[in-house]
């Protein structure tokens, strides 16, 4: 098959790496890709948020199957345009992608299907939002309804902080995404991510992960897109996963089908788990980044068969071949991230970094200049490894990091600490 992956980060590098291990793949194009992806696949320049542009490109290149990586093309309806033009696609329709593009929509689905989640209310003006905060007290969670690149959520520890967030959102800090604001009850517990392939009807779990959102060691400092992740997530035991499937995921899929917008693609459920009971924090309609890197490292080439089965509506007959292994990914970021950072610093040692079926350095934001890799983003590399234990995977990943020579970059030395027994690094 000729396969097109849309996206150009570490997630798409990991997807490309897994797809290429599957003999069904004849040709792989990634658009736009990055300098690391270009080492293993063809990269193409393309406006991936334009349905007509992607349809034309897929036609010209005799593409048989399109895998959509990020949420923006899904929210823009690129999967719909491709399907209308007769292409096989992995990823939900624009209507089903509302599970990520509108927080209020997801809350309505939870209410309609009885899925446990934080209590909530929606507001279109600041005064009524503030009245609600005053009546509820703090801590309380203030969210811009729409897509805000992971920045539209404020956990307010005081009423005045909540007021500030409400004014900020209605004041246009997130553009149209903040035209409506969702205010939620603050949930206690431990967070974990659950990844489920869906074909419109059937839900097939393909793994669990936990990520580290804070920039600093000990989970301190500002929020980022994720500084590392590991799989499996110990807190998401089989019993918790079964409850999440029965109480949250399957009811969601049934409600989406009932609404006439069946969900096909990967559903990434952010769960808050307290005393063995999962509640939904949020859905994403794509793989997590960098969570995808640890999932692909563990699944290998079968990931493609599963993704393909989801796109063709064949998940009822699909099976995951589970290994009792662990994977970890450590993000190397440019100095200054998540604030302002420089681009263009040279990264050395990548050519000699060990790469096999148990460890691989996925590129999140690199470019090629004069035959050398240079940093081209905030999160730049995802050093990923697999092991029989999490400690073995962790040691393997940090061994690779030690062979990479990039003085202008930094990383956290404690990825996985919680699962490794708290504090141990
Ligand atoms: P979201 O973009 O909805 O995932 O929110 C970003 C982060 O905010 C989540 O990963 C949680 O850590 C936190 N969060 C969101 N909603 C809540 C909530 N209702 N209670 C506690 N923490 C939350
Ligand atoms: N790592 C968090 C996300 O992909 O949303």
Q: What DSSP line would sit under 273-292, residue for residue? A: EETTEEEEEEEESS--TTHH
Tokens describing residue 292: 């995808």
Q: Domain locations in the chain?
A: 2-93, 119-185, 190-317, 327-421
Q: Is the pLDDT of residue 41 over 90?
A: yes
Residue (of 67, 71, 53, 64) closest to 86 by Cα position: 64
Query: What spacing in Å lies between the alpha carbon of 160 and ligand 2's midpoint?
Result: 28
* Integer Cα distance of 99 and 345 in angstroms: 38
User: For the structural domain made of 2-93, what CATH number should be given?
Assistant: 3.40.50.20
Q: Could you please state the CATH topology (level 3) that the domain comprising 327-421 is classified under.
A: 3.90.600
What does the buried/exposed string (b/e) look like for 62-74 if buried means 16 or more CB atoms within 10 Å of the residue's CB? ebbbbbbbbbbbb
Residue for token digits 């990923």?
Answer: 384
Site to substitute for ligand 1 among 105, 194, 281, 286, most atoms within 8 A of C-beta:
281
Q: Give CA separation, 75 vs 86, 173, 254, 274, in Å.
A: 19, 20, 21, 32
Residue 334's DSSP bridge partners are 409
Ligand 2 nearest-atom number relative to CA 150 = 5
Tokens describing residue 338: 């998540």
Ligand 2 nearest-atom number relative to CA 286 = 4
Collapse the DSSP code of 106 into the 3-class scheme (helix H, G, I; strand E, B; otherwise coil) and give the result.
Answer: helix
Ligand 1 nearest-atom number relative to CA 191 = 12
Read off φ and ψ for residue 53, nearest 5 degrees.
-65, -40
| Ligand whose nearest atom lies closest to the CA of 156 | 1
Q: How confident is the model at residue 268 (pLDDT cuts 50, 70, 90)?
A: very high
* CB 327, CB 384: distance < 8 Å: yes
Q: Domain 119-185 classified CATH 3.40.640.10? A: no
Q: Is the pLDDT of residue 423 over 70?
A: no
| Ligand whose nearest atom lies closest to the CA of 212 | 2
* Integer Cα distance of 256 and 212 in angstroms: 31
Q: How confident is the model at residue 397 (pLDDT cuts 50, 70, 90)?
A: very high
Residue (of 69, 66, 44) closest to 55 by Cα position: 66
Strand 181-185 and strand 409-410: pairing?
unpaired
* Integer Cα distance of 244 and 276 in angstroms: 10
* CB 395, CB 387: distance < 8 Å: yes
Site to substitute for ligand 1 among 153, 214, 284, most atoms within 8 A of C-beta:
153
- In this structure, the number of other CB atoms found within 10 A of the CB of residue 186 comes to 16
Tokens describing residue 270: 């952010």
Cβ of 291 closer than 6 Å to ligand 2, yes or no, is yes
Cβ of 177 closer than 6 Å to ligand 1, yes or no, is no
- Average pLDDT in the 127-142 region? 94
| Residues 319-353 pLDDT 10s | 999 889 999 999 999 999 999 999 999 999 998 88
Summary mean pLDDT of the chain: 95
pTM of the model: 0.95
Cβ within 8 Å of residue 108, ≥6 positions away: none
> What is the distance in angstroms between the CA of the first residue and the CA of the last residue of the chain?
43
Cα four-point dihedral sign 124, 130, 133, 135: negative
**Omega before residue 175 within 30° of 0, cis:** no
* Integer Cα distance of 279 and 298 in angstroms: 26
Cβ of 396 closer than 6 Å to ligand 2, yes or no, is no
| Residues 202-255 pLDDT 10s | 999 999 999 999 999 999 998 898 999 999 999 999 999 999 999 999 999 999
Ligand 2 nearest-atom number relative to CA 291 = 1
- Average pLDDT in the 247-264 region? 98
Which pLDDT belongs to residue 179?
Answer: 81
Query: What spacing in Å lies between the alpha carbon of 191 and ligand 1's midpoint?
Result: 9
Q: How confident is the model at residue 421 (pLDDT cuts 50, 70, 90)?
A: confident
Residue 141's DSSP bridge partners are 155, 184
Residue (of 168, 173, 177, 202) closest to 75 by Cα position: 177
Cβ of 9 closer than 6 Å to ligand 2, yes or no, is no
Q: Is the pLDDT of residue 392 over 90?
A: yes
Residue 15, judged by CB atoms within 10 A of its CB (0-12, 13-18, 19+), counts as buried
> 190-317: what CATH class?
alpha beta
**Fold match, 2-93 / 190-317:** no
Residue (of 420, 384, 425, 419) closest to 237 by Cα position: 419
Q: Is the pLDDT of residue 46 over 90?
A: yes
DSSP H or E run through 381? strand 379-387
């Amino acid at each position: 098959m000729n396969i097109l992956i849309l996206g150009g980060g570490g997630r798409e590098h990991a997807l490309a790496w897994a797809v290429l291990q599957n003999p069904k793949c004849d040709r792989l194009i990634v658009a736009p890709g990055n300098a690391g992806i270009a080492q293993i696949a063809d990269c193409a320049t393309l406006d991936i948020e334009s349905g007509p542009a992607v349809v034309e490109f897929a036609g010209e290149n005799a593409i048989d199957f399109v895998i959509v990586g990020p949420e923006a093309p899904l929210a823009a309806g690129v999967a719909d345009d491709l399907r209308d033009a007769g292409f096989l696609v992995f990823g939900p329709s624009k209507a089903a992608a509302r599970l990520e593009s509108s927080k209020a929509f997801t809350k309505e689905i939870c209410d309609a299907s009885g899925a446990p989640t934080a209590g909530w209310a929606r507001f279109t003006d600041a005064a009524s939002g503030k009245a609600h905060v005053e009546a509820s007290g703090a801590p309380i969670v203030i969210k811009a309804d729409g897509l805000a690149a992971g920045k539209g959520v404020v956990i307010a520890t005081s009423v005045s902080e909540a007021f500030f967030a409400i004014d900020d959102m209605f004041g246009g800090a997130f553009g149209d995404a903040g035209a409506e604001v969702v205010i939620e009850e603050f949930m206690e517990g431990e967070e974990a991510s659950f990844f489920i392939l869906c074909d419109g009807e059937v839900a097939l779990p393909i793994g669990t992960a936990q990520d580290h959102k804070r920039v600093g060691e000990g989970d301190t400092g500002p929020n980022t897109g994720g500084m590392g992740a590991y799989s499996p997530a110990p807190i998401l035991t089989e019993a918790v996963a079964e409850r999440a499937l029965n109480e949250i995921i399957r009811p969601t899929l049934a409600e989406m089908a009932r609404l006439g917008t069946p969900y096909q693609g990967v559903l990434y459920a952010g769960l808050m788990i307290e005393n063995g009971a999962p509640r939904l924090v949020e859905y994403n309609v794509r793989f997590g980044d960098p969570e995808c890197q640890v999932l692909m490292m563990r699944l290998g080439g079968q990931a493609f068969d599963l993704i393909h089965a989801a796109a063709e509506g064949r998940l009822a007959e699909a099976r995951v071949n589970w290994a009792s292994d662990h994977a970890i990914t450590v993000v190397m970021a440019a100095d200054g991230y998540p604030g302002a950072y420089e681009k263009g610093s040279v990264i050395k040692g990548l050519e000699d970094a060990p790469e096999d079926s148990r460890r691989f350095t996925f590129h999140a934001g690199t470019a090629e200049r004069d035959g050398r890799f240079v940093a081209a983003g905030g999160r730049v590399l995802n050093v990923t490894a697999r092991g029989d234990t999490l400690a073995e995977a962790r040691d393997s990943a940090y061994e690779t990091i030690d062979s990479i020579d990039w003085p202008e970059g930094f990383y956290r030395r404690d990825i996985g600490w919680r699962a490794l027994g708290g504090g141990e690094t």
